[in-house]
Amino acid sequence: MSSSSDDDTLQADEQLYARLQQVAENPEQPKRIRMLAADALGSLHRARIEWEVFHDEKDNARRYRELLESIDLGIVIHDASGQVLYSNRAALHINHHPPCEESDSWRSPMNSLDWLAVDMQGIHLSRENYPANLALRTGKIQSGKVIGLYNIRKQVFRWIEITAIPYAAGSNDRPRQVLSILRDISEERRVYDMFERLQSLSETGCWDWDYASGECNLTPGALHILGLAQPPQSLDELLACFPQYETRRLARSIEKALNDQVPFTLELHRFDAFGEEQWVRLQGELDFLNPFTSRISGTLENISSSKQLEKSLRRKANTDPLTGLLNRDAIMEELEARLAGTLPKVALLYIDLDRFKEINDTLGHDYGDKLLQDVARRLVIATDDKAAMCARLGGDEFLVLCTAHESRAPQRLAEHLVELLSSPFQIGSETLHVSASIGIARTPKDGLDSATLMQKADAAMYESKRRGKNSWSAYDWELAKKQRRQVELDTLIRGAVQNQEIELLYQPILDVQSGQLVACEALLRWQSPILGTVATETLVAHAEASGEIVRIGGWALREACLQLRRWQNAGLPHVPVSVNVSFQQFLNENLLALVESALQAAELPGSALILELSERILVEKAPLTPQIIEHLRQMDVRLCIDDFGEQYSALNMLRQFPFQSLKLSRQFLHGVPDNPSDTALCRAISDIARNLGFTLIASGLETAAQLNFLKSLGTPQAQGFWYSPPLTADVFARQWLATDARPVPAG
């Protein structure tokens, strides 16, 4: 600005000073306007003091103008026609003008038409609606008006907050000038817009509450989360957005934050206006920016999505994916929770499907899976009104956890389930029949911990299977006694081999027509110092249940081969020895190596050994069954199906594997020749063996009538007490190997 305008500037400053003082001291003016006026007044006051110090009027004017230029706020003075009379350096900077020292060159850009203005919504703002023009026209202060200014020529945009103060000589006079105080809020707007965008994207908002005034403020993001159109007027209104049980938690946390200065984080449950479940994370702490007030501030976040995901993951983790029932972990967790609490007595129903494996193997896993799904649906229907929980433990095993208010309630439920599951299942075009074996254990008589209850329910279920399946059994003292005996036997069996309590007995196998000795079967006998003589069937059953059969069977195989070698070394005639191999032994990966080792140790050919296998090996078709049988055939080991027809009658499998003989079960021979059914079965099995080229061996021969019947059938071989009981190795050698043939009782 030129020096020729100093007088005008000083006069304008005097008027500006008076007007700012009037605004700053007027209590009726808004607080924000009074603060802006006070800031400007302070700067002018410092300029006046400086001006009074200097005596040179021109120098005083220059010094005063320099101090005025140092004000941070932009100051622009317009005359009554709207022309710019004065603009300080800050205003020029806000409007993106370089400082201008030459005469009036700064006025031109300020008054040019290079400007476009918009309001806060981005709508074009005409010049007559600029804050300064509105103040001139109305004579009223335009406070805190925000406009966007765009310089077309320089392509610069600014958001500016303007307070325009009109000045008139008298109260009734038309304003002669207007003072505009400018503040560049572009950066604030940018940060605010980014904050608003963050809230809209992250569903996060802020809130605060002033204890003294009761005023409660929420950002737009927080209002959106709570579904509010207007901010709550008080803390009570904010608390009303949540159900009462959550309101108490929130109120206690706010009180603790005020009194103990402890920050808090709460996850609050609520339902929105549409009845949808919502979870909100609300954080708060004491605001220390103003030490003279008690204000709580914090954030509000919608965490419904993460909660739903967490709920979904928890449900998946606790659910059996095939049936939708609870899984083992989930039902055990529920059982332990009930046992740890004060809930009523509970009962466990352990359910195992009968014949499921046959269906699964015959029709395939798709049918098996659909059957399990239908079983699960029936369980849910049966237990829906009984406060029971159903779970799938795995495979075809299920568990029902129910209350046991009445002593007979679990039994009635078990009876209902047995009946329900015995009804046919329609899977596609197939009508499938299964049944269920159920075991029941209950608190407190059967145990007070989950592991004990599960073990006893499982034991009761196996008792149901033993009794014939399609039934239920409750754990009782008889079953407990049997279990204790089983445990005792398991313990004794484990030490029987090391203590040389188990020995092999040998029973002769004879040619039915000639009575000549053709082979012998090695049978286990346990001479226990505690139990006395334990029958072979009892020993094998308990050894299979305990898993000791693999070790005992391996010893029996090796010992039988070594005994053949001893007899041969003693110059006795050679006869093959038949050794039983259990299903567990057959599945053991060391079976082939064990057979080969036993033969090599005894220096015997494979033809000296006959392995008796159960029908289960054929029906269950373990993956390695064909390979194992083929390797045994290549070793020249003969194979026999033991007790054929007793369990599975796997007729179709006989064609697939190179067996040499079938052993007729003693159960079928027992009623011969008086029982027509037994007689018919024996004839049928004899025909099957003859037509397929198998040697039939009858076991359990006890009477002359049975022997005559076997001769009439043309049965090749037999063994039993009619010929001889099982004998020790020495006795067998004396009675059956010392001569070429032993006389056979006449038939």
- The number of C-alpha atoms within 13 Å of 13 and in the hemisphere containing its C-beta is 26
- Rounded to whole angstroms, what are the CA distances from 82 to 112, 118, 183? 12, 19, 20
Dist. CA 520–CA 720, nearest whole Å: 11
Instruction: Print burial letters for 378-408: b (CB count within 10 Å at least 16), e (below 16).
Output: bbeebbeeeebbbbbbeebbbbbbbbbeeee
Please give the average per-residue pLDDT across 37-57, as a whole number: 60
What integer pLDDT is reported at residue 512 of this predicted model? 94
Dist. CA 713–CA 716, nearest whole Å: 9
| Per-residue confidence band for 46, with pLDDT thresholds at 50, 70 and 90 | low
With a cut of 80, say whether residue 201 has pLDDT above it.
Answer: no
What integer pLDDT is reported at residue 2 of this predicted model? 43
Whether the CB-CB separation of 428 and 450 falls below 8 Å is answered with no
CB-based burial of residue 239 (10 Å sphere; 0-12 exposed, 13-18 middle, 19+ buried)? Answer: middle
> Long-range contacts: 457-466, Cβ < 8 Å, 24+?
457/348, 457/349, 457/350, 457/399, 458/350, 459/483, 460/350, 461/350, 461/351, 461/352, 461/437, 462/437, 463/439, 464/437, 464/438, 464/439, 465/352, 465/354, 465/437
Among candidates 468, 473, 379, which has minimal Cα distance to 425? 379
Going by DSSP bridges, is the β-strand pair 74-79/177-184 parallel, antiparallel, or unpaired?
A: antiparallel
What integer pLDDT is reported at residue 206 of this predicted model? 87
> Long-range contacts: 490-499, Cβ < 8 Å, 24+?
490/542, 490/545, 490/546, 490/548, 492/528, 492/530, 492/531, 493/526, 493/539, 493/542, 493/543, 493/546, 493/548, 493/552, 494/546, 494/548, 496/526, 496/528, 496/552, 497/551, 497/552, 497/555
Pair of tokens at residue 586: 């057959």
With a cut of 80, say whether residue 669 has pLDDT above it.
Answer: yes
With a cut of 90, say whether residue 185 has pLDDT above it.
Answer: no
Q: State phi, psi for 743 to the nearest 5 degrees.
A: -60, 135
Q: Is 546 helix (H, G, I), strand (E, B) or coil?
A: helix
- Rounded to whole angstroms, what are the CA distances from 296 to 253, 342, 465, 510, 660? 11, 41, 68, 100, 91
Whether the CB-CB separation of 450 and 346 falls below 8 Å is answered with no
- Rounded to whole angstroms, what are the CA distances from 613 to 498, 595, 616, 644, 660? 26, 14, 8, 10, 12
Question: DSSP letters along 264-294, please?
Answer: EEEEEEEE-TTS-EEEEEEEEEEE-SSTTS-
Q: For 727, which DSSP code?
A: B
Helices and strands counted in the chain (H then E): 28, 27
With a cut of 80, say whether residue 101 has pLDDT above it.
Answer: no
What integer pLDDT is reported at residue 43 of this predicted model? 65
pLDDT digits (tens, 9 = 90+) for 595-641: 999 999 999 999 999 999 887 776 665 556 778 888 888 999 999 98
Pair of tokens at residue 230: 């207007």
Verify cis geometry, omega within 30 degrees of 0, for the bond prior to 444: yes
Please give the average per-residue pLDDT across 19-28, as a whole number: 74
β-partners of residue 301 are 204, 281
Please give the average per-residue pLDDT across 13-33, as a whole number: 71
Question: DSSP letters along 429-485, please?
Answer: TEEE--EEEEEEEETTTT-SSHHHHHHHHHHHHHHHHHTTSSEEEE--HHHHHHHHH
pLDDT digits (tens, 9 = 90+) for 121-155: 888 888 888 898 899 888 899 988 999 888 777 77
Strands (E), 516-591: 517-528, 532-534, 577-581
What integer pLDDT is reported at residue 67 of this predicted model? 62
With a cut of 70, say whether residue 744 has pLDDT above it.
Answer: no
Whether the CB-CB separation of 701 and 710 falls below 8 Å is answered with yes
CB-based burial of residue 54 (10 Å sphere; 0-12 exposed, 13-18 middle, 19+ buried)? Answer: middle
Q: For 743, which DSSP code?
A: P
CB-based burial of residue 640 (10 Å sphere; 0-12 exposed, 13-18 middle, 19+ buried)? Answer: buried
Specify the range with the lowest mean pLDDT, choosing from 188-192, 441-445, 448-452. Answer: 188-192
What integer pLDDT is reported at residue 557 of this predicted model? 94
H/E element, 330: helix 328-340
One-letter amino acid for residue 246 of the chain: E
Going by DSSP bridges, is the β-strand pair 717-719/695-699 parallel, antiparallel, or unpaired?
A: parallel
pLDDT digits (tens, 9 = 90+) for 510-528: 999 999 999 999 999 888 8
With a cut of 90, say whether residue 357 has pLDDT above it.
Answer: no
**pTM above 0.85?**
no
User: Residue 476: CB partners within 8 Å, gap ≥ 6?
Assistant: none
| Per-residue confidence band for 103, with pLDDT thresholds at 50, 70 and 90 | very low
Please give the average per-residue pLDDT across 711-727, as a whole number: 94
Please give the average per-residue pLDDT across 460-466, as a whole number: 86
Dist. CA 333–CA 452, nearest whole Å: 14
What integer pLDDT is reported at residue 48 of this predicted model? 60
What does pLDDT average to over the chain?
Answer: 82
Dist. CA 602–CA 609, nearest whole Å: 11
pLDDT digits (tens, 9 = 90+) for 233-250: 888 999 999 998 889 999
Whether the CB-CB separation of 409 and 402 falls below 8 Å is answered with yes
User: Residue 428: CB partners within 8 Å, gap ≥ 6?
Assistant: 367, 370
Provide the terminal-to-terminal Cα distance of the chain, rounded to the nearest Å.
147
Pair of tokens at residue 316: 């998946």
Q: State phi, psi for 316 to the nearest 5 degrees.
A: -65, -40
One-letter amino acid for residue 68 of the chain: L
CB-based burial of residue 544 (10 Å sphere; 0-12 exposed, 13-18 middle, 19+ buried)? Answer: middle
Please give the average per-residue pLDDT across 212-231, as a whole number: 87
Instruction: Print burial letters for 438-469: b (CB count within 10 Å at least 16), e (below 16).
Output: bbbbbbeebbeebeebbbbbbbbbbbbbeeeb
pLDDT digits (tens, 9 = 90+) for 300-340: 988 888 888 777 777 777 888 899 899 998 889 888 888 88
Whether the CB-CB separation of 574 and 568 falls below 8 Å is answered with yes
Dist. CA 102–CA 113, nearest whole Å: 21
Whether the CB-CB separation of 338 and 450 falls below 8 Å is answered with no
Whether the CB-CB separation of 84 and 111 falls below 8 Å is answered with yes
SS3 of 54-90: the string is CCCHHHHHHHHHHHHHCCCCEEEEEECCCCEEEECHH
> Long-range contacts: 24-30, Cβ < 8 Å, 24+?
29/141, 30/143, 30/144
Among candidates 728, 709, 730, which has minimal Cα distance to 718? 709
